[in-house]
Structure 1
Amino acid sequence: MLYSHFCHQILVNPPTTKRLVLALSGGLDSRVMLDLLARFIEQHRDYRAHAVYVHHGLSTNADTWAQQCVTWAMASGISCDIERVQCELGGGASVEQAARDARYYALSQHIQCGDTLLTAQHADDQIETVLLALKRGSGPAGLAAMPVLTTFACGQHLRPLLSISRADIEAYGAQHQLQWVEDESNQDQRYDRNFIRHQITPLLNERWPGIRKAVTRSAHLCGEQEGLLEELLSFQLQQARQADGSLRIAANISARLGMALIRQWLKQQAVIMPSLAQLEQIWFNLVLAKVDANPQVCWQQYQVRRYQQQLYLLQQWPDISDWQQPLRLNQYCQLPQDLGVVALKPTPSATLRPPYANETVSVRFDYLGPEIKPQGRSGKRKFKKLLQEYQLPSWLRRRTPMLFYGEQLVAVAGVFVVAEFVATSSTTTTAVEFEWLRA
């Protein structure tokens, strides 16, 4: 029964490449799926399979588990890679969330266009996910919990066992005399999911034996409602979304519609969704803020900012205003935080004079000096005012590289060149360009 169900799920949701990638942890659920997958590819010779073990480094047993997974996969005729990751903690994220994010990012690197990722979540996992969503006060999107099929990377993500109980999976493992690993952290009830698994779900199943099917049905209905909402808002969202990815929303629409559009905009960008309170802050404190305000709403590692009546989704980065590096002619300088590289080099269209022999050249992200006059301007202005006039958003003003000769500001990449450093026939015959290649 379990094998036929597994085969049906794959055959009705086939990968275009006929390639299946299994997330293999070595626990009971994924170990059973490895056995099911081996039987499937033996019967369906046009399919290919590959397994990936994600090594988080959170357990002293992880090396042993990794090797055990490789051994089991090879014995099943399936290739297996070990992906080592580091969990990035901070920004309010739990260890569970950090491990999950790292795991799915690592798995995405093994998905070729048209592949299917297989994970072994089951009906009991779905109950846990719905209860956790209730604890967070989630709406229909959160209560939809885990779908059977969704897009993932450049392929799709299939959960073939989502309607199967853990008891049925245990019975299959015992019947086929499979071995699996036991993660000691699964017994630690400090983690909410483990508390629900050991203390709550058994009581629910004892009281209402049909709870798994009921929860699965409710999650499906919530998913249908969320899908309908997404479909109804698709045209308005397309109209509101700008070429640079920002969102322009008219302040005269209702708060309910406005927040729904913001939610769908964030969902399209695959971020951790803000809470209802944070979503209300985005609407009332950003969209409805005064024209000259510079508000922001932050959660996890994200922030939403407003500029010229448009909303921008940004990552929260550490301050780099004190960062500086020397820059040599015709050599690239790597910038921090995935900002790309800069170079100072001669080009036919360049207007900047090269540095004199006694001038040190550096790249920085902050300027606190006197008023300056950009090329083509009639007078000097304060630096902050200039950046406003050149319409540089506030969050980019200390993330845009600046060129210095000694302690004098020479140019702001992509914005302006300071007038006194413009090349003239009396100063040099070779002009240079301050080039910024973004990542």
Structure 2
Amino acid sequence: MAASPTPRPRLPDASGNPAAAALAGLQLPLPLAVAYSGGADSTVLLLAAAQRWPGQVQAIHVHHGLQDAADAFEQHCEQVCAQFHVPLQVRRVAARNAPGESPEDAARNARYQALARAGRDAGLQAVLLGQHADDQVETLLLALSRGAGLPGLAAMPPVFQREGMVFVRPLLALGAQAIRDWVAEQGIPVVEDPSNADTSFTRNRIRHLLVPALQEAFPSYRETFARSARHAAQAQELLESVAVEDLARMGGAPAITALQQLPRARQANVLRHWLRSAHAASASAAQLEELLDQVADCRTRGHKIRIKVGEGFVERQGERLQYLPEASL
């Protein structure tokens, strides 16, 4: 007598999964992946996505190798994906920070690069990320603590492209508590990153010290902060449009005389856009102010401009500004 086939484990009931409602109205290009860390956030997203688009979802786990528990995280992800028959890719990265780069930024950049490459290699159309409303609040507060401008105050966009891949954050309106409650109710095992309790990181200090006070003083802070971030994003989009038009009128590169005819704030806007879009460079507030002062004083042919910005220099070349990476000098 033939052995009975092993029953295929069923996914938890999607009707109770708080991520299911967030995915219900989304029309995304398929197939796609979920960035799966093994934590509660990416777990609810992976299970909801696998049920929303059966057979069209994969998981990608990025092994940073930054802590002793990294191997255990990978093993957990392998077990969960095998249990629910979700294909899994594991990518290992060396997330060491370069000079002038924070360890957090290095890890984040390496993670996005690995996710994008894994997605492209598998022929996927998008990667879903599990950041939620509480992450958005922390991002906004972190930007405020650093004195960020509109791009920082816009916090995390729901959709963006990086390394040739579309990334989507469908859970930005969902609070962390709803996620944790559902995972606990279902008895689904998840991993907890021990570094989340380390208050030497600014984000963790915000999470453990500042957010509880906000919850007590302003219970609706998630919704109001999200609204402010959307306003900042809309304002930044408008500024980008203005900068694109200004730069196009200058022929694609900043012309000194044309810059001088613009208000100082508009000069700063077009210079920031030019540096970011054409050279992937970002000027500090002090560097930008110095560059604007030099542009204002540039009234003779012999006036030289040479300002350190990012990993290179902004220099005058005739009647225009040019950016030279330090490696090319």
TM range (shorter): 0.7 to 0.9
RMSD: 2.4
Q: Given that residues 286 and 305 in structure 1 are in contact (C-alpha distance below 8 angstroms), is that contact kept between their aligned partners in structure 2? A: no
Q: Secondary structure at the match of 1:109?
A: helix
Q: Given that residues 143 and 219 in structure 1 are in contact (C-alpha distance below 8 angstroms), is that contact kept between their aligned partners in structure 2? A: yes
> 1:298 Cα deviation (Å)?
3.2
1:98 and 2:109 equivalent?
Answer: no
Match of 1:39 in 2: 51
Task: Quickly say closer, same or farther: Cα 1:150–1:202, change in 2 above 3 A.
Answer: same
> 1:251 Cα deviation (Å)?
4.0
Q: Aligned AA for 1:27? A: G
Q: Aligned AA for 1:256? A: A
Task: Quickly say closer, same or farther: Cα 1:278–1:214, change in 2 above 3 A.
Answer: same
- The whole-number CA distance in structure 2 between the counterparts of 1:196 and 1:127 is 9
Decide which of 128, 134, 138 is 1:118's aligned counterpart. Answer: 128
Q: Given that residues 6 and 36 in structure 1 are in contact (C-alpha distance below 8 angstroms), is that contact kept between their aligned partners in structure 2? A: no
- The answer for unaligned runs of 5 or more in structure 2 is 1-15
Match of 2:13 in 1: none
Match of 1:29 in 2: 41
- The answer for unaligned runs of 5 or more in structure 1 is 318-394, 397-439
- The whole-number CA distance in structure 2 between the counterparts of 1:297 and 1:287 is 17
Decide which of 296, 307, 310 is 1:296's aligned counterpart. Answer: 307
Q: Secondary structure at the match of 1:82?
A: strand
Q: Secondary structure at the match of 1:53?
A: strand
Task: Quickly say closer, same or farther: Cα 1:63–1:276, change in 2 above 3 A.
Answer: same
Q: Given that residues 151 and 157 in structure 1 are in contact (C-alpha distance below 8 angstroms), is that contact kept between their aligned partners in structure 2? A: yes
Match of 1:160 in 2: 170
Q: Aligned AA for 2:48? A: L
Decide which of 65, 82, 89 is 1:57's aligned counterpart. Answer: 65
> 1:294 Cα deviation (Å)?
5.4
Comparing both structures, which one devotes a greater share of its residues to helix?
Answer: 2
- The whole-number CA distance in structure 2 between the counterparts of 1:298 and 1:68 is 44
Q: Given that residues 34 and 127 in structure 2 are in contact (C-alpha distance below 8 angstroms), is that contact kept between their aligned partners in structure 1? A: yes
- The whole-number CA distance in structure 2 between the counterparts of 1:270 and 1:172 is 45
Match of 1:19 in 2: 31
Q: Secondary structure at the match of 1:99?
A: helix
- The whole-number CA distance in structure 1 between the counterparts of 2:76 and 2:190 is 9
> 1:314 Cα deviation (Å)?
4.9
Match of 2:8 in 1: none
> 1:110 Cα deviation (Å)?
2.6
Match of 1:183 in 2: 193
- The whole-number CA distance in structure 2 between the counterparts of 1:304 and 1:123 is 39
Q: Given that residues 304 and 311 in structure 1 are in contact (C-alpha distance below 8 angstroms), is that contact kept between their aligned partners in structure 2? A: no
> 1:139 Cα deviation (Å)?
1.9
Q: Aligned AA for 1:32? A: V
- The whole-number CA distance in structure 2 between the counterparts of 1:134 and 1:265 is 24
Q: Relative contact order (C-alpha < 8 Å, sep 6+): which is higher?
A: 2
% identical equivalent positions: 32
1:266 and 2:275 equivalent?
Answer: yes
- The whole-number CA distance in structure 1 between the counterparts of 2:297 and 2:125 is 44
**More displaced 10-residue stretch of structure 1: 213-222 or 289-298:** 289-298
**TM-score, normalised by the number of residues in structure 1:** 0.64
Decide which of 70, 73, 84 is 2:92's aligned counterpart. Answer: 84
Trace 1:36-435 onto structure 2 (pairs within 5 A): 36-42=48-54, 48-112=56-120, 115-240=125-250, 242=252, 247-249=254-256, 250-253=258-261, 254-269=263-278, 271=280, 273-285=282-294, 291=302, 293=304, 295-299=306-310, 302-308=311-317, 309-317=319-327, 395-396=328-329
- The alignment of Structure 1 onto Structure 2 pairs a total of residues equal to 306
> 1:193 Cα deviation (Å)?
0.2
The structure having more radius of gyration, on CA atoms, is 1
**TM-score, normalised by the number of residues in structure 2:** 0.84
Deviations 1:330-376 (A, max 9, x none): xxxxxxxxxxxxxxxxxxxxxxxxxxxxxxxxxxxxxxxxxxxxxxx
Task: Quickly say closer, same or farther: Cα 1:22–1:304, change in 2 above 3 A.
Answer: farther
Q: Secondary structure at the match of 1:238?
A: helix
Task: Quickly say closer, same or farther: Cα 1:84–1:285, change in 2 above 3 A.
Answer: farther
Q: Secondary structure at the match of 2:156?
A: coil
Q: Given that residues 7 and 40 in structure 1 are in contact (C-alpha distance below 8 angstroms), is that contact kept between their aligned partners in structure 2? A: yes
Task: Quickly say closer, same or farther: Cα 1:208–1:251, change in 2 above 3 A.
Answer: closer
